[in-house]
Amino acid sequence: MRKLFMATAFLAASALTAHADDVKEVQMLHWWTSGGEAAALNVLKQDLAKEGYAWKDVPVAGGGGDAAMTALKAMVAAGNYPTASQMLGYTVLDYAAAGKMGDLTETAIAEGWDKAVPAALQKFAVYDGKWVAAPVNVHSVNWLWINKAVMDKIGGTEPKTFDEFIALLDKAKAAGVTPLALGGQNWQEATMFDSVVLSTGGPEFYKKAFNELDEESLKSDTMKKSFDNLAKLKEYVDPNFSGRDWNLATAMVIKGDALVQVMGDWAKGEFKAANKVPGTDFLCYRFPGTDGSVIYNSDMFGMFDVPADQKAAQIALAKATLSKSFQSAFNVVKGSVPARTDVPDTDFDACGKKGIADLKAANDGGTLFGSLAQGYGAPPAVANAYKDVVSKFVHGQITTSEEAVNQLVQAIDDAK
Ligand code: BGC
């Protein structure tokens, strides 16, 4: 027993201690290429530089990370693992199940992560009892981002229901402003549709349909009505929306060329990078009819099973990521909220403070749901099928809500 204890203690010490021949570099694959995202990533680069680690950047542009995940797959297939990769929920679990991830459990125990990281995130960062990823943040997708000057000009107020939202969009249209800034890429359209479904069907419906994949819910009249509502929103989008990047849609709102964007709170990172202040320059409201619920995703750094001489760098990265000071500094810039429950909200702006409070309330009240569009509702194959159907509907390849529902049920069934 004593021998076993000593052996374990030795292993723990050796894994956590630096050696002379350790690689002093962190190689990171990610899709943080917009202005706000790059500013947030700089916080991490600087923290690691202070500890003597160089940064080897592997950026793969494309919001939502689909292109990045294709690039990662190729690297992993070639046996060329990065120290870590940005990943969303079910993707972490897939790589872990395939035996590709390392084991951060010793570090996690030493640092007390299990007490600080919300259970909703541990479900994805811990596989088979082992920590395989370091959660960076919690984003939430059911937000409206509004240009305040345009809002004042049209005499708008916070829309509390879907119908009030439509009335607000009508006011912008009448004033000659593009009402809704949307990027016509499948992940953006599906991210918006997550909110539409929650608003149309309510919390229980969202959970059943998009977290439990309950077929009755997926093929229900409520889902049909959700597509009807999506079709209504499409009426307020400008004709050049196809293929537009999400941050360019945010820029339309920042500049006052559009009233509102429905997007995850990474959009706030763009407002911040443009020195815009909530309450003065822009407004953040929950998507109408979803107050009290939070649809979340969380960026995780998936930690691969790297060679021994890279483990110290990986551990340094993981510790830096989950330190309280980093969790505050990074998320203030990124637009997200901390992945730990014990980080004070002092340095966050009004939207960030609301985000932190909303997350806690949703977590306590059972209204915190994984985003299907953002990798936290179901495994990637199902999420991709979903994004595809929603996008075909938005771009007119599917012409009725009824057909959209049929194709959604079929595509999800095939992907399962
Ligand atoms: C990520 C965010 C990122 C956004 C746009 C989301 O999937 O969670 O961190 O800012 O995509 O790139």
* Contact present, 369 and 207 (Cβ < 8 Å): yes
**Quick one: pLDDT band at residue 18, thresholds 50, 70, 90?**
low
Could you tell me which of 310, 322, 299, 308 has the C-alpha nearest to residue 26? 310
Ligand 1 pocket mutation, candidates 299, 300, 371, 384, criterion most atoms within 8 A of CB: 299
CA of 68 to the centre of ligand 1 (A): 11
Q: Which atom of ligand 1 is nearest to the CA of 375?
A: 7
Q: Which atom of ligand 1 is nearest to the CA of 139?
A: 8
Q: What is the pLDDT of residues 104-139, one digit of tens each?
A: 999 999 999 999 999 999 999 999 999 999 999 999
Q: Report DSSP state, residue 292.
A: T
Q: What is the mean pLDDT of the chain?
A: 95
* CATH architecture under which domain 25-139+297-354 falls: 3-Layer(aba) Sandwich (3.40)
**Identity of the residue numbered 47:** D
Domain ranges (residues) in the chain = 25-139+297-354, 150-294+371-415
Of all protein residues, the one whose alpha carbon is nearest to atom 2 of ligand 1 is 266
Q: What is the pLDDT of residues 31-57, one digit of tens each?
A: 999 999 999 999 999 999 999 999 999
Residue 264 phi/psi, 5-degree rounding, is: -60, 165
**101 CB contacts (<8 Å, ≥6 apart)?**
92, 95, 127, 130, 132, 133, 302, 303, 304, 305
Write down the pLDDT at residue 4.
45
**Quick one: pLDDT band at residue 63, thresholds 50, 70, 90?**
confident
Instruction: With a cut of 60, say whether residue 12 has pLDDT above it.
Output: no
* Contact present, 267 and 250 (Cβ < 8 Å): yes
CA of 266 to the centre of ligand 1 (A): 6
Q: Please provide the DSSP assignment of 46-105 as one string.
A: HHHHHTT-EEEEEE---GGGHHHHHHHHHHHHTT---SEEEEEHHHHHHHHHTT-B---H
Instruction: With a cut of 80, say whether residue 8 has pLDDT above it.
Output: no
* 39-48, long-range: CB < 8 A, 24+ apart: 39/269, 39/272, 39/273, 39/333, 40/269, 40/330, 40/331, 40/333, 40/334, 43/326, 43/329, 43/330, 43/333, 44/320, 44/321, 44/326, 44/330, 47/320, 47/323, 47/326, 48/316, 48/317, 48/320
Of all protein residues, the one whose alpha carbon is nearest to atom 5 of ligand 1 is 63
User: For domain 150-294+371-415, which CATH number applies: 1.20.58.220, 2.60.40.10, 3.40.190.10, 1.10.760.10?
Assistant: 3.40.190.10
Write down the pLDDT at residue 5.
44
* Residues with C-beta less than 6 Å from any ligand 1 atom: 31, 37, 63-65, 88, 139, 246, 266, 297, 299, 374
**Quick one: pLDDT band at residue 17, thresholds 50, 70, 90?**
low
The whole-model pTM stands at: 0.95
Across 141-264, the runs of DSSP E, i.e. the strands, are: 143-147, 178-180, 258-262
Same fold, 25-139+297-354 and 150-294+371-415: yes
